[in-house]
Amino acid sequence: MDGRGTALYAASLDPIHYGHINIALRASRFFDHLIVAIYANPQSKQMLFAVEERVALAAELFQKYPAISVASYSMLTVEYAKSVGAIALVRGLRVFGDFEFEFRMGMANKKLAPELETIAIMSDEPYMHISSSTIREIAQLGGDVSSMVPPSIANALHEKYRQHKSIALCQGG
């Protein structure tokens, strides 16, 4: 380790996609350790995958990167960051609209934890259009998401929606 510290890349990752992976891999070059932290219970979102599934899927994708670990948390992000000794929060920017949201969030985090820096990394161009909600919608309708997610995630999505259809049919929906 060369003293660059630990950073936290917090997201819901429902599902994780190539844009998330790109940001994590690029951020990991600047820190000794990057924790991909999956928020366990976002109040404002209906999750497709349980937190345990999201952690397992992400951990599988990052297993060959020793500087990246995956964890879940259920507290205020800055509190979790402090509890793991993080010095920075990593955020990804895709489109201009992301900047305003991330700017406000970064300023709020700075008020709550002045010792933490927020590092925003612009998404590489091939991933700027990708969002988890778009991927879920395409997969739910049986579309091809292979250009947006790794094969293991595409398979997990199609299996999850196959299960949902089976449940709906059994319930008369």
Collect all residues with Cβ–Cβ distance below 8 Å to 2 and sequence separation of at least 6. 32
Q: What is the pLDDT of residues 85-143, one digit of tens each?
A: 999 999 998 877 778 888 898 999 999 999 999 999 999 999 989 999 999 999 999 99
DSSP state, residue 76 = -
27-63 pLDDT, tens digit per residue, is 999 999 999 999 987 666 689 999 999 999 999 999 9
Question: In which element (H, E) is residue 84 found?
Answer: none
Taking domain 6-129, whether its CATH number is 3.30.450.20 is answered by no
23, two tokens:
């940001």
Taking Cα atoms as reference points, which of 76, 3, 1, 80 lies closest to residue 35?
80
For the chain, give every domain's residue range.
Answer: 6-129
Active site residues: 20, 45, 94, 132
- Is the pLDDT reported for residue 165 higher than 70? no
Q: Do residues 39 and 73 lie in contact, with contact meaning Cβ atoms separated by under 8 Å?
A: yes
